[in-house]
Chain A
Amino acid sequence: MSALAIAKTAPPLSAAHTEQLAQLLAGLDSAGLLWASGFAAGLAHARGDAVPALTTHPLEAIGQRLTVLYGSQTGNAQRIAHRLAARAEAAGVPVRLLRADAYPLRELKDERLLYVVISTQGDGDPPEDALGFVEFLQGRKAPRLDQLAFAVLGLGDSSYPQFCAVGRLLDQRLADLGGTRLFACAEADLDSDAVAVPWLDQAQAKAEERLRQESQRATVTPLRRAPPAAAIASREQPALVELLANQRISGRDSSRDVRHIELSLTGSGLTYQPGDALGVWPHNDAGLVTRILDALALDGERVLSHGEHSLPLRQWLSERRELTRLSRGLIAAHAARAGSAELDALLADGEAVRGWLVEHQVLDLIQRWPAVWSAQELVAALPALTPRLYSIASSQAEVGDEAHLTVALVQEQRAGEDRFGAASHYLAQQPEGARLGVFIEANARFRLPADPDRDVIMIGPGTGVAPFRGFVQQRAVAGGQGRNWLLFGARRFRDDFYYQREWQQALQDGHLDRLDLAFSRDGGERVYVQQRLLEHGQAVCEWLHNGAHLYVCGAVAMGKDVHQALLVLLTAHAGHSGEQAEAYLRDLQQHGRYARDLY
């Protein structure tokens, strides 16, 4: 191999090193080359420092290895993609793992084997790290992919209308561009492993099959440092932490019960950055479990084995299975047992069933259309319980070994019975001193600027204000020159101004420079944060042009309205055309200056 050939791969080496390496390699046979490769890899691993994601690769090598690409918002797709890469690597399949926004788009045309794991946000949007990739694929610059073999795993939440829409879209588009679909696009619900695990098995088998045929030639195996074991392990093996405080922070006349939860991380080994999320493994409400057992006339004490666990049915339902979220699959399984024309008709109407499952829970299903389930069948059919993620509302710089959450209790009345969100209800019920299973879900895409002198604009209506409490705490301790501007909104000033006293204090102490408020139910016109943003459009532009970082946290719909408002104000005050405004925001996004945490 010549120095020129190495140089074409754009190695992270000086010219002198490239030259020396070429000379060294020229004298080695295949066995020597493989040994040298492994030796060097071992050296790198031993150093243990972070290896940057490889963004350039030998063109010749692309075709001979698997690329795993992921787009992730909450970390699920990332986790599964990591698992796939690890399995492939363990099986001896050359693999590179890339987040979608780190993927060099020009290499796509040369890919031979590509697996995509991607989630769908809110209304069918890609996760933010995949915006550019999806846009590129859909655009006219997308290349023909006649030599590509691919498979897609979509993740989503079937309670949203556009369930796994992005996964399906990519799957269709890759095929349209000439790619060969190795196997059907899979669509995983919140209980992602039910679908993801079979998909991973299939993906690994196919990869081995294809790349074993082509792996006669040596290649550069990209080095990828395994993700820290604890981060993944903690999701499955959460830390037990003590609840220090559970305080309602919405006023007594509020229509919402919002809690400020304080947890002690002492001894858990958990640490976090402002912007990270805390995962909570809830238990289902004991009353709900009993009602389901009663409705199905099942014995809760009966011990059942499923997968690796043997537990009494009551414990399966309380700690291991989703009872507050419905999936289409479960409705279908229930319909098969219920023999109800009404339920069959509902199931046949995709739009209707989606609407229904968003509004209802497992108990509603079995109460309305009675059916016979065996305990074993039920445990097999119910989706596995998944942890719920909450943006952390504190900074360790301020609170030390604690993590604070802002939790809105999800609660409705149906036919005289309460229906709760699993985790918010669970948290709200916990007394001080209770121990909860939690883990940290890092959110590298929602970080304060490294430079404390940068301004930040924080848009966080409702419980979306949570991470900004952490931000302001962090910035107060950091003590930079950067200004902090918070836009908060809720229903009523009197009862829903979460952390009002703290914000007032922060204003007084100069830790908050601006606070704009929008209350929608205080009489008169309903005002939302995006209106406030528009009213202060000039200032927003000035802050942004001054280098401010912009953050949005809260509901998906709000995020859209805010995005729209930003486009409008950029057009109005910064002289951008509509397209320029879009490009400007995209640019901010790509530079980590416009980060969103929407749910």
Chain B
Amino acid sequence: MSAIEQLKRDSQRLRGSLRESLADPVTGALAEPDTVLLKFHGSYQQDDRDLRDERRRSKLEPAYQFMIRTRTPGGVVSAGQWLKLDAIARTFGNGTLRLTTRQAFQFHGVIKRELKTTLQALNAALIDSVAACGDVNRNVLVAANPLLPAVHAKVQQQAVALSEQFLPRSRAYYEIWLDAEKLADSGSEDEPLYGPAYLPRKFKIAFAVPPINDVDVFAHDLGFTAIIEGGTLRGYNVSVGGGMGASHGDPETYPRLADVIGFVEPAQVQALAEAVLTCQRDWGNRVLRKRARLKYTIDDRGLDVFAAEVQRRAGFALAPARPVVFAHSGDRFGWVEGEHGAGNLTLRLRAGRIADQPGAMHLSGLRAIAVLHPGSFRLTPNQNLIVAQVPAALRARIDALVAEHGLDRYRRDSALAVRAMACVALPTCSLAMAEAERYLPEFSAALEQVLARHGLLDAPILLRISGCPNGCSRPYLGEIALIGKGPGRYNLHLAADALGQRLNRLYRENLDQAGILAALDPLLARYAGERESGEGFGDFLLRAGVMQSSQTAADIEATHEPT
């Protein structure tokens, strides 16, 4: 059993010595075991890695700080909640809000002695961070597609229900952060769903609404793809065993796309999801943590065996999957008509970061919009933002605020830049091996020059950058992906399909920027000259024989092209 398994079991339902760690005035950090448990409360201990060495020389401990991630299924918040989140970012965080690829808000830079106050402020906004990280069901994704409001509402409802259903029953969060009273069973609460050791690893669920696969539905442990017939939600195709994370140079780990195992009706969703989750709970690998995700359980046991067990547990048989066609995995920027004359405005936010910078006062601008606007905000799985349900009368004023605060990037960015994603990486993420979010502007600009040279500025190439191989920005689904290897160095992956249905593959290892551009230049030149109408870069690379297909991709890290 891995050490973390024991720690979870001994944690008194996720309490550990968190209280003592928080009260220790000598350090801004938690005791090491508590850093593991804190994740289940939706927070990571981090430190400002830019300052790490400087502070070591100054005989000071690292600049410890905490990231807090919200549990916001489908990424939907009211304008009132937005204002409270904005205030938290400015009061307790580093003055920025970060929208994640899982439709959560992240606060960065919260210090230990303000962690509790911050979570209380979050609670006052009727938002929590329970299980936003940790070996539990994470924030549930929902397609942000605003084209079908009725369907979206229904899917969103199911996602929220699942999120609630899969909350841990431990009251640790409420006792530690919100001063809830201790009860007789505190520390030994019954966890009927999870058991005392929770899941072997994180568990991710996403709901897609075709024809847009903005959630990358096959990148999650459990996916539901809505089947809409005649404008009505009939049910979902079920996919299992997706996951992005891998380790460099370890063929036992790899990204994997989910397999579709059948169709369920809306009423069967909760039972099916519980069957998948409990099966992974019982069958998942608790000895080897790197092999603990559902994708490995399925590969180890066999998909058929797993699907049969799921159906046995659910108590019903899955119907055959229905045909689905996805058009793309991006967002639809700008205004889209909704119901009753309301409109939805999708804004581009680079890498999901909302900050105030000269010429780009995004935090202030969105605050102004939230003050004006009675509706809601919806985070997209591509780190962008929808100002939803805007009455027609307000559109002009919101457009003015958007322009005034530089929030009109969706009009100005290149086809490449407007689609690109990057995880946070340095300086806060402890896993990062290279820059991602901070590198995205520089790299996009450099790549745009190459694209311009080949007349490809309008080509909607999907670029994803990740600071490490764990895959928060779902890099293995980028047509071009940089996966951090070391400072300034990346593995270059190519030829995913931009639909979320085909993984990319490693093309060149350990390149610096010049190396990446040099590797891409001839490929882009060929693409410019040889592409067929509407053919994506990734698809072209396959057709041209530059890359081999890798549909299931178990060999993604193991096989590379000679370099």
Contacts and interface: CB of A to CB of B under 8 A. Distances in A.
Given A504-B26, A517-B26, A260 B59 contact: yes
A516 B26 CA distance: 8
A502 interface: yes
Interface residues on A, range: 20 to 34
A330 B61 CA distance: 47
Contacts of A251: 51, 55, 58, 60, 63
Interface string B62-85: 010000000000000000000000
A149 to B, nearest CB: 56
B58 A515 contact: no
A501 interface: yes
A503 B58 CA distance: 13
Contact of B61 (A498, A504, A516): A504
A18 B548 CA distance: 112
Contact of A502 (B28, B59, B63): B59
Interface string B43-59: 00000000100111111
Contacts of B27: 504
Nearest to B112: A493
Contacts of B113: 493, 522
A516 B23 CA distance: 12
Interface string B7-38: 00000000000000000011110000000000
B386 interface: no
A261 interface: no
Given A494-B63, A494-B111, A247 B57 contact: yes
B405 to A, nearest CB: 28
A252 B54 contact: yes
Contacts of B58: 247-251
Contact of B26 (A248, A249, A252, A515): A515
Which DSSP category, helix, strand, loop or mixed, fits chain B's interface? loop
A500 interface: yes
Contacts of B60: 249, 251, 494-495, 497, 500-501
Most buried by B among A497, A507, A517: A497
A494 B29 CA distance: 11
A501 B59 contact: yes
A99 B328 CA distance: 90
B338 to A, nearest CB: 43
Contacts, number: 46
A499 interface: yes
Which DSSP category, helix, strand, loop or mixed, fits chain A's interface? mixed
A252 B51 contact: yes
Nearest to B57: A247
Most buried by A among B25, B51, B55, B59: B59
A546 B250 CA distance: 60
Contacts of B55: 251
A498 B26 contact: no
Nearest to A250: B58
A594 B26 CA distance: 26
Interface in A258-273: 260
B65 to A, nearest CB: 9
Interface in A484-542: 493-495, 497-504, 507, 515-517, 522
Contacts of A498: 59
A247 B54 CA distance: 10
A507 B26 contact: yes
Contacts of B56: 501
B29 to A, nearest CB: 10
12 contacts: A248-B58, A250-B58, A251-B58, A493-B28, A494-B28, A494-B111, A499-B59, A501-B59, A502-B59, A503-B26, A504-B27, A515-B26
Please list the 9 inter-chain residue pairs (A to B) with the smallest Cβ-Cβ separation, ordered nearest first.
A249-B58, A501-B59, A500-B60, A517-B25, A249-B59, A499-B59, A500-B61, A515-B26, A251-B60
Interface of B: 25-28, 51, 54-61, 63, 111, 113
